Amino acid sequence: MSTRLVMAGAFVGALLVLTLSMVFSWPVAGGGGGGRSTATDDDAAANLAAAFEAPAGSCLTWKPDGSDMKPVGCDQPHLFEVTGDVDISGEYNDSAPSPSEEVWRDIAKQKCTTGAAGYLGGKLDPFGKYSVGALKPSDEQWRDGDRKLRCGLQRATPSGKTLVATTGSAKNQDQSDIYDVGTCLALVEKNVGDPVPCEKEHAYEIVGVIDLSQTFTDGTFPSEEQQQTAMLDQCPKLAAEYSGNLDLAAQGLSLTWDTRKQESWDAGSHRAVCKVGAPLKDNSGLAPISGSVKGAGQTGQPATPPPSGSTTPTSTPGG
């Protein structure tokens, strides 16, 4: 086991995860107090070593503060699925300076995307929940001659600032960019943000998930019009069940939904969500909603109505 992996404490704050749009950093392990090694430090070092040596098909995770990066079974919640290694020593010799973060993003895009798509059997949904990422050498590792890039797949929130844990190998997943029923998505400058508790102001609440392949069973891509018709037929039923038959219009709320593009459909992404929100009358975005609509028609405690500037239709097809 190489010294650079055993001495996990030396890597605090050093590793970066790169997506194609955002750079993430985290401390992968804590150092021992006063320079003394502890069992915890040894465990962290062993976990880190195992993560760096994990072959394609392995899944990695770490704590919210970035510590204790380690491999886990892909059937467990994880943040990163390894798709392969890339050695860039041919382009960057031992004396080359470490690339900037922007250049690292370009390197990840150029070197990892093709391999990730191949890992998925050539079907990477460009609009799906997975993005291509990489673990790059720290500056210290770079100075020591490390030129290996660990490529992988991960899921980021709409802001691109946080990774979302997934369960199951990406090879076996419908890649549709959806969230579970009951998830609320933040309102950020009239647009959709990251998942938040429904008690907080939000843009949408997911009230249903529909597998369009159950409606269009011949495998042929359904047109936008066909998808809209299918969602219009099914979403109101799911919304009524979820909300306890809440009168959405009376609350200034709208039922909307997503559809799938052909690139997504061809990659096997067939699921779409039904969601409740409050589009503004001028179509400039969304109004804030507070509280969940789950069972509100029965409890008599619906979500806080949005401002009067929002619309009131009960169903509005979305993107």
Select from 172, 201, 227 the last residue of a domain.
172
Q: Is residue 51 part of a domain?
A: yes
- State percent of the chain over pLDDT 90: 51
What pLDDT is recorded for position 49? 77
Distances, alpha carbon 52 to alpha carbons 93, 136, 154, 185, in Å: 21, 11, 16, 34
DSSP state for residue 221 in the 8-state scheme: P
Asked whether the predicted pLDDT for residue 319 surpasses 80, the reply is: no
Query: Higher model confidence: residue 3 or residue 113?
Result: 113
Query: Higher model confidence: residue 104 or residue 36?
Result: 104
| For the chain, counts of helices (H) and of strands (E) | 7, 13
pLDDT tens for each residue of 131-180: 998 888 877 788 889 898 889 999 988 887 788 899 999 998 899 999 99
What pLDDT is recorded for position 304? 64
pLDDT tens for each residue of 80-109: 999 999 999 999 999 999 888 888 888 888
Select from 137, 172, 207 the last residue of a domain.
172
Q: Is residue 119 part of a domain?
A: yes
Q: Is residue 177 part of a domain?
A: no
Asked if residue 151 and residue 12 are part of one domain, the reply reads yes
Q: Is residue 135 part of a domain?
A: yes
Please report the beta strands in 43-178, taking only residues with DSSP state E, as ranges in sequence order. Answer: 59-61, 70-72, 80-87, 131-136, 148-154
Asked if residue 166 and residue 21 are part of one domain, the reply reads yes
What pLDDT is recorded for position 307? 59
Q: Is residue 179 part of a domain?
A: no
Asked if residue 278 and residue 235 are part of one domain, the reply reads yes
What pLDDT is recorded for position 161? 78
- Domain of 228? 184-317
pLDDT tens for each residue of 265-309: 999 999 999 999 998 888 888 899 999 999 998 876 656 656 555
Range with the poorest average pLDDT among 42-56, 187-201, 216-230:
42-56
Asked if residue 115 and residue 38 are part of one domain, the reply reads yes
Select from 172, 205, 230 the last residue of a domain.
172
Q: How many CB atoms lie within 10 A of CB 283?
A: 7
Asked if residue 122 and residue 82 are part of one domain, the reply reads yes
Q: What is the mean pLDDT of residues 220-236?
A: 97
Looking at the structure of the chain, the number of domains it has is 2
Q: What is the mean pLDDT of residues 23-39?
A: 40
Asked if residue 309 and residue 263 are part of one domain, the reply reads yes
Give which of 149, 160, 173 is closest to 98, Cα–Cα.
149
DSSP state for residue 268 in the 8-state scheme: T
Distances, alpha carbon 9 to alpha carbons 32, 33, 39, 66, 91, in Å: 7, 10, 13, 13, 30
Asked if residue 114 and residue 12 are part of one domain, the reply reads yes
Q: How many CB atoms lie within 10 A of CB 171?
A: 14
Asked if residue 209 and residue 123 are part of one domain, the reply reads no
Q: Is residue 178 part of a domain?
A: no
Asked if residue 123 and residue 222 are part of one domain, the reply reads no
What pLDDT is recorded for position 61? 92
Asked if residue 85 and residue 196 are part of one domain, the reply reads no
Asked if residue 296 and residue 190 are part of one domain, the reply reads yes
What pLDDT is recorded for position 241? 97
What pLDDT is recorded for position 216? 97
Asked if residue 168 and residue 32 are part of one domain, the reply reads yes
